Amino acid sequence: MTIIFFNPYADAKVKGAARRIEFLRHLLNLLGVPNQAVLAQDYAKTPKRLAERVALRFRLRRLAYFLHAWRLCRQGHTVVSEVIFTPTWHLRMVLTVHDLKAYDARATRGGLLRRWAYGVFTSLACRVVVVSESVRQDIKRLCGVAPERIHVVPNGISHERLTLAQASMGQPARYDFIYVSSFAKHKRHALLLRAAPPGSRLCLIGRDMGSLEETRAEMLRRAGEIQVDILENVETDVQLFYLLGAARCGVFPSVFEGFGIPLLEYGAAGLYVIASDIPPFRELAAHVDRFVPPDDEQSLHEAMAEALLRPVAVSVSAREKVEQSQYTETAIAIQLAKLLNLPTVQFEKKTQMGSLK
């Protein structure tokens, strides 16, 4: 049996869905479980049967992806996929859901068709994997999925990335605030710039998903008051953690998320952390120093101003909290093993051995 992570929408060079797959594959590799990923580039090279080729010819991509996932299941593979238009009812299919943006007015994307698809295909799914208890509750409430079919396997931070975070600590502070997240409207980059105290030095890291122009406009409006560096092409974890280590405070003012991996990254680098008070972030409360109400510019300004008054020092305790949390590779490996009916004792042993290397 091979476990196949199927997401033909995902670009291996772009973070997000590809990073989640990369992390889960890393855990399976530690055990020696056969697995592979079929992302956009892989799917383009994969041989296709007649029906799938016809669907692509007529630009029916969703149908083509559905047929491909179905074929993989029938071949005996376990297919793990974020693609909603797949045969979720198949016993070898595992549907993964990061969030339910389709149902939220502040972050909706895909329109009514996407909302309908989530309602239908999640209710038919044999197994649904979500990244947080918050998303689990949303799926139960909005999609009517039985709780025993919903499994929480959170995002996490690998031993390798923890090591990079530790190596980044102790640099002179080049930035007062750093924000690692794609430029999408619900991420509230412009709000962050409006709330930033005069004299602040900010670093914004992420790819454009529709709100970069608005962010640049706000940056220009406050030119001379605050310093802002926008980095769209931070491609390696070495670069990312180097930049985190050069900051005093990590911020995450988003109003809608499924999880919040940057909060763990901030903590691993020993930063002071400010985040929106939303349910998924509350699950990570041990790694957040200050919560602010979402979309409250004044509260965010006050939290940032108070952070600037703090001594410039990294927090070793924040890093230790991440290392000892349920979001390490060992802890998540055990959850993944249970979901896929793998021997958890052996998984834990091999994962720990891999982490020590």
Q: Look at residue 15 in the predicted model and tell me its pLDDT.
A: 63
For residues 203 and 269, state if they share a domain.
yes
Task: For residue 77, give the CATH number of its domain.
Answer: 3.40.50.2000
Query: Which of 162, 307, 323, 183 has its CA nearest to residue 254?
Result: 183
CB 192 within 8 A of CB 275: no
For residues 65 and 164, state if they share a domain.
no
Q: Look at residue 13 in the predicted model and tell me its pLDDT.
A: 67
- What is the overall mean pLDDT for the chain? 91
For residues 194 and 304, state if they share a domain.
yes
For residues 65 and 119, state if they share a domain.
yes
Q: Look at residue 339 in the predicted model and tell me its pLDDT.
A: 83
Q: Look at residue 316 in the predicted model and tell me its pLDDT.
A: 84
Q: Look at residue 356 in the predicted model and tell me its pLDDT.
A: 38
Q: What is the pLDDT of residues 141-186, one digit of tens each?
A: 999 999 999 999 999 999 999 999 999 998 999 999 999 999 999 9
Residue indicated by tokens 């079929």: 38
* Confidence check: pLDDT of 36 > 90: yes
- Structurally, the chain folds into a number of domains equal to 2
pTM for the predicted model, two decimal places? 0.90
User: Residue 232 belongs to what domain range?
Assistant: 159-323
- The secondary structure of 68-119 as a DSSP string is HHHHHHHTT-EEEE--SSS-TTSTTEEEEES--GGG-TTT--SHHHHHHHHH
| Cα–Cα distance for residue pair 42/308, rounded to 1 Å | 46
For range 349-357, the mean pLDDT = 48
Q: Quick one: tokens of 89?
A: 């009812």
For residues 195 and 151, state if they share a domain.
no
Question: Would you place residue 349 in the very low, low, confident or very high pLDDT band (cuts 50, 70, 90)?
Answer: low
| Cα–Cα distance for residue pair 308/176, rounded to 1 Å | 7
Return the higher-pLDDT residue of 317 and 283: 283
Query: Which of 187, 200, 166 has its CA nearest to residue 308?
Result: 200
Q: What is the pLDDT of residues 23-35, one digit of tens each?
A: 999 888 887 889 9
Three-class SS state of 228: strand
Q: Compute CA 319 distance to the chain's CA centroid, rounded to the nearest angstrom.
A: 19
